[in-house]
Amino acid sequence: MSQATANAKVRVMSGNEACAEAAIAAGCRFFAGYPITPSSEIAESLARLLPAIGGKFIQMEDEIAAMGAVIGASLAGAKAMTATSGPGFSLKQENIGFAVMAEVPCVVVDVQRGGPSTGLPTMPSQGDVMQARWGTHGDHPIIALCPRGVRETYDLTVRAFNLAERYRTPVILLMDEIVGHVNEKVSLPDRIQVVERGAPAEPPAEYLPYRVTPSDVPPMASFGTGYRYHVTGLAHDETGFPTNDPHKIEQLIERMHRKIERHLDDIVAVDEDFQSGARLGVFAYGSTARAAARAVREARERGTAVSFVSPTTIWPFPAEAVRRLAESVDRILVAELNRGQLTHEVEWAAAGRAEVTGLWRVNGEPIRPADILDRIEQEAS
Amino acid sequence: MSFHYEIRLSGEGGQGLVLAGKILAEAAAIYDGINATQSQSYGPEARGGASRSEVILSDGDIDFPKAQNLDLLLALTQESCDKYARDLKPGGLLLVDEDAVQNVPEGQFRVWRIPMIRLAREKLGRQIVANMIALGVITQAAGIVSEEAVRNAILARVPKGTEQINIEAFELGVSLAKEMAAQSQA
């Protein structure tokens, strides 16, 4: 037996606690939210951590107001976050659209539970995948990251803040109940890379808040630093004031998409584990990817060749990785806790190069390694 | 020797099963350097309703954090015993509360009947520490995490002023498990 002395670097923590601590490490100094299972421990942790370092924690009257407060805080220069689950994520959608249109960096955490409506508060789901993409109306780009475990929740929370600041956009951290509530042994990094918001180089009188720049990301001025400008959800020109000029509208909307689409190499992260001779590929993300990883390992131990693709960025969709997978196998099995929300995206990206089939579950139970292993053996035979 | 050991603590909300699971995982990971995960499943109720907490202990990576083939099942209610006994692997250990679980299902597992809830009430004066008695039995029965590590983890986690009763309950559980092991060998 060991001496049983505490290893100070090792901790047992949940995904929700890791998210809260990572937010602080990434520079988050403002949280507004409304508690909801299974995300509440994020708010609970930040209610304790933020005031202690001079940050602000506000429990708002509802999720709509919480999203509004986050946008306001970000415009005033704070790195800001909110956290919720399905029903609350629905309420936030209108203001998420505002943040996209006004190009306000922020992080929105959705710890997915079973839906629709209040659904299954304490049970896991991946049913908000399409809501993360299209929950707010209109043609808009979005970034959504999907962690598979506690340590990855820490890393992706930091990454969510960095991407939000770099591209002036809301970033959705799409967790699930398993990842949020599981306690795992982790050691957190001593140093992380943090992206800070740039300031405009020009004086306030010359500042154009939505100027078209070579990077497509206009420098953002914080309110309270002498810069005044108009912020609106209406289509606007470079000054930020509303416009109906088709040329200026197109310039805005196209730039908003381009700033994300030009940087897929930086934004899209996906683990590709191809095995030569594999005729079957497995695609899974979030907590389901943990079950898939085990099933893939066991299938290989039994002598079945199988490739495995597991993204941590789900929006923009990792279409290139799926195309590479589809070119190397005959069939792709997509395992997810919904009725095929990403299966259809995989099918679109595979474009007939491989047959796509789904293993879906919507009853509140997780997909287990044995379920996936059974399907792998069925599909591979 | 490589190991992967799965434990499920099951019963009702309010019995402290999530806390007991978390303490065991912390003892393993922080004090004994063993890889551990702890997860839970419960209903929307604050008290009552089915509750379960799972701990996986391994010397390797734990790719899936939910239990599939139980080495040890604790059942503090008849309902949880009926529901989960079938998840025990052959040769696994079913630990039941002797008073709460009257009908023990047939299966290829060992059964330990211990009146943990009654002993908590009668010997320690607080029914609520039945979870710490169970933790003592489980620690001894599993033989993976050291007693000292669990004691340290209990002290780090329980409310101030309750350390002594929790440690006493844990130690009672350890000695009960030693008696059970001796009986089954006799």
Q: CB B30 to CB A1 under 8 A?
A: no
Render pLDDT for A144-180 as a digit per residue (tens, 0 to 9). Answer: 999 999 999 999 999 999 999 999 999 999 999 999 9
Q: CB A185 to CB B25 under 8 A?
A: yes
Residues in chain A within 8 Å Cβ distance of B152: 4, 6
Q: Residue B59: pLDDT band by 50, 70, 90 thresholds?
A: very high
pLDDT of B1 strictly over 80? no
Residues in chain A within 8 Å Cβ distance of B43: 122
Residue of A nearest to B35 (CA): A185
Interface test with B, best of A12, A188, A337 (most B CBs within 10 A): A12
CA distance B123 to chain A (A): 29
Q: CB B37 to CB A185 under 8 A?
A: yes
Chain A residues at the B interface, defined by Cβ less than 8 Å, are: 1-2, 4-7, 10-12, 37, 121-123, 149, 178, 181-185, 287, 290-291, 293-294, 297, 366, 368-370
Q: CB B149 to CB A291 under 8 A?
A: no
Residue of A nearest to B69 (CA): A370
Residue of A nearest to B152 (CA): A4
CA distance A85 to chain B (A): 14
pLDDT of A1 strictly over 60? no
Q: CB B148 to CB A291 under 8 A?
A: no
Residue of B nearest to A38 (CA): B44
Q: How large is the average pLDDT for residues A78-88?
A: 98
The pLDDT assigned to B49 comes to 82
The pLDDT assigned to A2 comes to 43
CA distance B44 to chain A (A): 6
Q: Which residue has the higher pLDDT, B47 or B50?
A: B50
Dihedral angle computed from the Cα positions of residues B76, B78, B84 and B88, in that order, rounded to the nearest 10 degrees: 70
Rounded CA gap, A86 and A113, in Å?
Answer: 6
The pLDDT assigned to A381 comes to 77
The pLDDT assigned to A87 comes to 98
Q: Residue B2: pLDDT band by 50, 70, 90 thresholds?
A: confident
Q: Would you list the domain boundaries of chain B? A: 4-185
pLDDT of B80 strictly over 80? yes
Q: How large is the average pLDDT for residues A96-110?
A: 98
Burial class (CB in 10 A: 0-12, 13-18, 19+), A61: exposed
Of B30, B68, B149, nearest to A10 by CB-CB distance is: B30
Q: CB B64 to CB A291 under 8 A?
A: yes
Residues in chain A within 8 Å Cβ distance of B146: 1-2, 4
Does the structure's ipTM exceed the value 0.85?
yes
Rounded CA gap, A269 and A272, in Å?
Answer: 10
Render pLDDT for A286-301 as a digit per residue (tens, 0 to 9). Answer: 999 999 999 999 999 9
Rounded CA gap, A49 and A154, in Å?
Answer: 15
Rounded CA gap, A311 and A108, in Å?
Answer: 19
Within an 8 Å CB–CB cutoff, is residue B43 touching chain A?
yes
* CB proximity list for A101: less than 8 A, separation 6 or greater: A138, A140, A232, A233, A235, A256
Q: How large is the average pLDDT for residues A84-112?
A: 98
Q: How large is the average pLDDT for residues A214-221?
A: 95
Beta strand segments in B45-160, E: 50-58, 70-75, 88-97, 110-114
A10-187 — its CATH code? 3.40.50.970
Range with the poorest average pLDDT among B42-46, B82-86, B101-105: B42-46
Three-state secondary structure call for residue B39: strand
Q: CB A370 to CB B68 under 8 A?
A: yes
Render pLDDT for A318-370 as a digit per residue (tens, 0 to 9). Answer: 999 999 999 999 999 999 999 999 999 999 999 999 999 999 999 999 999 99
Q: Residue B186: pLDDT band by 50, 70, 90 thresholds?
A: low
Q: Tokens at residue A148, please?
A: 């598979």
Render pLDDT for B142-170 as a digit per residue (tens, 0 to 9). Answer: 999 999 999 999 999 999 999 999 999 99
Residue of B nearest to A121 (CA): B44
pLDDT of A270 strictly over 80? yes
CA distance A285 to chain B (A): 13
The pLDDT assigned to A4 comes to 64
Q: How large is the average pLDDT for residues A60-79?
A: 98
Q: What average pLDDT is seen over chain A?
A: 96
Residue of B nearest to A11 (CA): B30
The pLDDT assigned to A84 comes to 98
Burial class (CB in 10 A: 0-12, 13-18, 19+), A105: buried
- Amino acid symbol at A236: H
Beta strand segments in A10-156, E: 10-14, 28-33, 56-59, 79-84, 106-114, 120-124, 143-145
Q: How large is the average pLDDT for residues A299-304?
A: 96
Strands A106-114 and A120-124: antiparallel
Interface test with A, best of B22, B30, B47, B70 (most A CBs within 10 A): B30
Same fold, A10-187 and A270-380: yes
Residues A297 and B63 sit within 8 Å (Cβ to Cβ):
yes
CATH of region A270-380, choose from 3.10.20.600, 3.60.20.10, 3.40.50.12780, 3.40.50.920: 3.40.50.920
Residues B4-185: name the CATH superfamily.
Pyruvate-ferredoxin oxidoreductase, PFOR, domain III (3.40.920.10)
CA atoms in the 13 A half-sphere facing the CB of A50: 25
Residue of A nearest to B19 (CA): A183
Residues A169 and A141 sit within 8 Å (Cβ to Cβ):
yes
Q: Would you list the domain boundaries of chain A? A: 10-187, 270-380
Q: CB B43 to CB A4 under 8 A?
A: no
Rounded CA gap, A345 and A284, in Å?
Answer: 12
Question: Would you say the C-alpha torsion A179, A182, A186, A190 has a positive or negative sign?
Answer: positive
Within an 8 Å CB–CB cutoff, is residue B161 touching chain A?
no
The pLDDT assigned to A9 comes to 84
Q: Residue A25: pLDDT band by 50, 70, 90 thresholds?
A: very high
CA distance B115 to chain A (A): 29
Q: How large is the average pLDDT for residues A226-249?
A: 98
